Structure 1
Amino acid sequence: MKVLAILVLLLPSALLAADASFPKHAIATVHPLATQAGMQAFEKGGNAIDAAIAAGLTLGVVDGHNSGIGGGCFFVIHAADGTVTCIDGREMAPAKAHRDMYIINGKLDNEASKTGSLASGIPGYLKACQTAQSKHGRLKLADVLLPAAEIAEKGFPIDEVYARKLAATASKLARFPASAAIFLKDGKPLQKGQQLIQTDLANTYREVAKNGIGWFYGGEYARKTAEWMQANGGIMTVEDFAGYKAPERAAIRSKYRGYDLITMPPPSSGGVHVAQILNILEHFPIRHFRASSRVHVITEAMKLAFADRAYWLGDPDFAPVPRGLVDPAYAAELAKKIDLDHTTAVPSHNMPPHWEGDIFGKHTTFLCTADAEGNWVALNQTINTAFGSKVVIPGTGVLLNDEMDDFAVQPGVPNAFKLVGAEANAVAPGKRPLSSMSPTIVLKDGKPVIVTGAAGGPTIITQALLLLTHIIDDGMLPEEALAQPRFHHQWNPDELKIEKTFGAETLAQVRAFGHKLAESESFGACQAISFDAGRQLFFPAHDPRVPGSAEGK
């Protein structure tokens, strides 16, 4: 899975004064052109929902290795009237998918779920955008599609991140002629600063703008995709596209130190486990811990949550996902398992209360927007790993996702991110794979004050919760919070991914607790927007680890 934060209310205005501030609206994304597209949507009279969709569609052009209309998304929206909408645009397995589809010639083919014709689920991105915009937006889909089409047609210089990911995947992209024609020149990947022109993608955007999303779901795009799949061993059909739905789901609601969290329910595991880990941390005064002790306690909470993720989490339309995972009483029991002085083995999942019956109703990028009317949007979108399945359907310019790898291709077998899953996340026709995307909005006294999410596979969950702890526990501003060193533990493998910027002394102290460290230069990407309610000002910020842009007016 390859998919913000809006802050705070109770911070002193003097501390906020150094940051750029805006009274009307704000946006933060991982690319300046996407941020600019969102600002243009605001200028056309659109609100935060329109701006988020405009930015997201533009990211599908300029950050297409991470997301696009060939993939999926989750929206968490707090509308101006106070209503909350969670839209599930996650990809669905084709009707011909089955549990053992990656057992090929009697052996598990680990590559088939990541690359090629069997790697993709039915994209949900456009359907989710239409649902969000028709319910809460002011503009039409065509209003935000056409400017993105113009960028695709004219081209743009690729940045360092794009060039690096392109170089890493060039050999796989070369296997598919339509992909190679776009991303390679004379058989070699485009370099930083070279112009990327996507004429077919521009035409696809324009066809959707002219004819509506039916052109994509069941129309010409679906027909071209089905024909390519049939010729290349795939199983997607026109009927799969025509039958796709982007349902609205009831938000997960939880609390942390006097704040109310609203986040995405399954098939997102992110919302469940951000809430679960924060529920555990409520029992510890982490703001008073030294750095190494804080890392240790939060890591132990991460391990407990990810062990539960591996067993319990899946598509709620197919698997019973217990609501008890976010029960404060369950978190209190888990908190008792944490030894403040040493690591504790977590051999398996735990048993949340009422697991038998109380269940949830049936490479990634992240962006956020907010406006003075009270519309707040957290949008995670993805095609999974870099360049998804590596397949561009000829004549469309659309990169298809490789989200089938987010299923447990066989229960207990790790995916591209070394995550394991059980039967709850096994492949089944029409099923949605588990995701780590964690778009979250936080309220104080009933008003939105923080919205957060991230990009980076399973580290999405831990980035989001770390950002929240720095803001809520430490009183940091978004820019400062985003700059803090990060760490991540996902239970399996039993290792702590941790940024070297903690410093040698702290790393040695963390190791002394018993943790096996996997040191990293940096990882992940969050975007943020803060809000000073007293002065009615937005303060956007973007993650310093990656190129990005934050603006407002």
Structure 2
Amino acid sequence: MSARNWCAGLMLALISIPCGASADTVAHGTHGAVASVAPLATEAGLAVLKNGGNAIDAAIAVGATLGVVDGPNSGLGGGCFMLIHRANGEIIAIDGREMAPAAATHDMFVRDGKGNTDLSQTGALASGIPGSVAAYAYAVEKFGRKKFGELLLPAAKIAEDGFPIDHHYAAKIESVADDLRTFEASKALLFHEDGTPLAEGDTLKQPDLAASLRALAAQGPDWFYRGPYATKVAEWMKANGGIITAEDFANYHIALREPVRGTYRGAEIVSFPPPSSGGVHVIEILNMLENFDLAKLNEPTRVHVIAEAMKLAFADRAHWLGDPDFVPVPRGLLDKGYAKDLAERIQLDAVIAATDHGEPPNATTDVFGKKHTTHFSVADAEGNWVACTQTINTTFGSKVIVPGTGILLNNQMDDFSIQPGVPNAFGLVGAEANAVGPGKRPLSSMSPTLVLRDGHPILAVGAAGGPRIITQTVLNLVGVLDLGLSLDAALAQPRFHHQWQPDELRIESRAPDAVREFLTKLGHPLDSVKNIGASNGVAWSDGTFTAASEPRLPSEAAAW
């Protein structure tokens, strides 16, 4: 098979808070490649590829290992979106997003007439039913070569033996220490006996998590959804004011979605559909930008135009996006004519007022069918390609480890609109489309994305950082497809982000002074920050695969 025909080729792009020593951030290979900020996860995926597994097998090994070494961001207690490009060209979107418990109600987080984000972000009410385990198991059963349990055992060994935490991991513990101390098992795991949090260089051993991984490996997903784990979670919830039951776990199911597709500068863009808002709004923003010759605009004007397109798309996100199994999400958001109308509102020399959402065509009749974060992708020499973004939401999720399990529970209930106008942990506001409801999946910004030319993948990108996932993905695509940058240069360019509300343009301090002065003159309220998010990706060109990892973080790429 020619390199052209297996250009879904070699790559693992991983986004996560780093754990372990930093290493090379770029790698090249013709047989297999893995790039990650967690060396132990990189090694797990590469080992699977070298030992006869395909990209789907390797992706599950990486995901499981991240749940051990990247606990602040992802794990078995969270959810994921997995985008698979098979060697035969078929693309599958596996929705492993968390689901709200059956007892969830519209106003469950409203107290004294106001939405209480403390309840949606921390503790027993904050968690949805995890979906990563179901997504992993389905992917391996349908498309892998290895046994599901075999792929979990290396992660179990790391959990049992322990690993030294780095300063990033230690900083994460410190940042939410007060909340973590509230829960017995979390405190026992992440703090010394004298009550001080684990520090850089301390070895983190997770015997309960190791035992859970081994039980899951031996008994399969039924152990998690219909067996001892579900029972333990339900008992803890009942004793601590939660509403999750064993029946909620038994009723969890993945959903197979139709990927969203668009075109941009002659390339095909394939991304994840609702309940991800990511794919829809990546394509919506690109559709607007296609009406401008970005390469010919000077940098300050280009930043302004892109920021305005972001703002308009996020206004639509706040109103229209939700779980398509429960609310109508308009396909017209992807319409190029609609995007052209929005683009005509953008002025090169002034900031527009986006006071409300747009009205895409056939908004109620043409709708999608029912249906802190880590991103990773893996590809193999046969042309199987996996892009997966997984999360437990904010740092250490709900902060809850159910005693005896070692598994951190997510706080994805905060990704619902707990009350119109009340911002979540990322400052996002939402409307009724994303209101809490039993069995619903909360809106997400996760945006695993593939770019194809002539039917073959040439680029895979993804990101971490809440709503900044969407805008990072757009900036990386613009960098490569408009500006002709190499992937590593695209990842290194200064980032900026606008999400409509709050009405401010967040921009990295490394942006040139001329850009910042121009934006301020136009009337953009600027919020200067050191770093925005974390991105990784892989590009294919002239028979060579290049994996580029996040330059703002210690990271690793490996290939053979």
TM-score tier (shorter): over 0.9
In structure 2, the residue matched to 1:480 is: 489
Specify which of 440, 443, 464 is matched with residue 473 of structure 2: 464
Aligned counterparts of 1:518 and 1:107: Cα–Cα separation in 2: 27
In structure 2, the residue matched to 1:422 is: 431
Once the two structures are superposed, residues 49-107 of structure 1 have per-residue CA deviations (whole angstroms, 9 ceiling, x without a partner) of 11111111111000110000100000011111111000000000000000011123655
User: CA, structure 1 residues 90+297, in 2 after alignment: closer, same or farther (shift >3 Å)?
Assistant: same
Specify which of 396, 399, 406 is matched with residue 390 of structure 1: 399
User: CA, structure 1 residues 232+350, in 2 after alignment: closer, same or farther (shift >3 Å)?
Assistant: same
Once the two structures are superposed, residues 312-349 of structure 1 have per-residue CA deviations (whole angstroms, 9 ceiling, x without a partner) of 00000001000000111110110000011010000000
Secondary structure of the residue aligned to 2:118 is: coil
Secondary structure of the residue aligned to 2:460 is: strand
In structure 2, the residue matched to 1:149 is: 156
Q: Which moved more, 1:367-376 or 1:350-359?
A: 367-376
Shift of 1:108: 3.2
In structure 2, the residue matched to 1:89 is: 96
In structure 1, the residue matched to 2:518 is: 509
Specify which of 265, 272, 275 is matched with residue 283 of structure 2: 275
Question: Are 1:7 and 1:451, in contact at CA under 8 Å, matched by a contact in 2?
Answer: no
In structure 2, the residue matched to 1:172 is: 179
Aligned counterparts of 2:148 and 2:208: Cα–Cα separation in 1: 19
Once the two structures are superposed, residues 468-496 of structure 1 have per-residue CA deviations (whole angstroms, 9 ceiling, x without a partner) of 01011112111111111100000000000
Instruction: Give matches, 1:273-422, under 5 Å.
Output: 273-362=281-370, 363-422=372-431
AA at the equivalent of 1:140? K
AA at the equivalent of 2:127? S
Specify which of 165, 168, 176 is matched with residue 161 of structure 1: 168
Once the two structures are superposed, residues 152-204 of structure 1 have per-residue CA deviations (whole angstroms, 9 ceiling, x without a partner) of 11111112211111100111000001000001112111111111111100000
AA at the equivalent of 1:386? T
In structure 2, the residue matched to 1:129 is: 136
Q: Which moved more, 1:67-76 or 1:369-378?
A: 369-378
Secondary structure of the residue aligned to 1:526 is: strand
Specify which of 200, 225, 246 is matched with residue 238 of structure 1: 246
Please give the root-mean-square deviation of Cα atoms over the aligned residues, in Å. Answer: 1.5
Aligned counterparts of 1:546 and 1:319: Cα–Cα separation in 2: 38
AA at the equivalent of 1:449? I
Aligned counterparts of 2:214 and 2:105: Cα–Cα separation in 1: 35
Secondary structure of the residue aligned to 1:77 is: strand
In structure 1, the residue matched to 2:532 is: 523
Question: Are 1:25 and 1:538, in contact at CA under 8 Å, matched by a contact in 2?
Answer: no
Secondary structure of the residue aligned to 2:44 is: helix
Structure 1 gaps of 5+ residues are 1-5, 10-17
Does 1:454 pair with 2:460? no
Specify which of 202, 206, 212 is matched with residue 204 of structure 1: 212
Aligned counterparts of 1:115 and 1:552: Cα–Cα separation in 2: 40
Shift of 1:31: 0.9
Question: Are 1:538 and 1:552, in contact at CA under 8 Å, matched by a contact in 2?
Answer: no
Structure 2 gaps of 5+ residues are 1-5, 10-24
Q: Which moved more, 1:78-87 or 1:503-512?
A: 503-512
User: CA, structure 1 residues 8+507, in 2 after alignment: closer, same or farther (shift >3 Å)?
Assistant: farther
Aligned counterparts of 1:139 and 1:52: Cα–Cα separation in 2: 12
Identity %: 56
Aligned length: 538
User: CA, structure 1 residues 176+19, in 2 after alignment: closer, same or farther (shift >3 Å)?
Assistant: closer
Aligned counterparts of 2:115 and 2:278: Cα–Cα separation in 1: 28
Specify which of 444, 452, 471 is matched with residue 453 of structure 2: 444
AA at the equivalent of 2:174? A
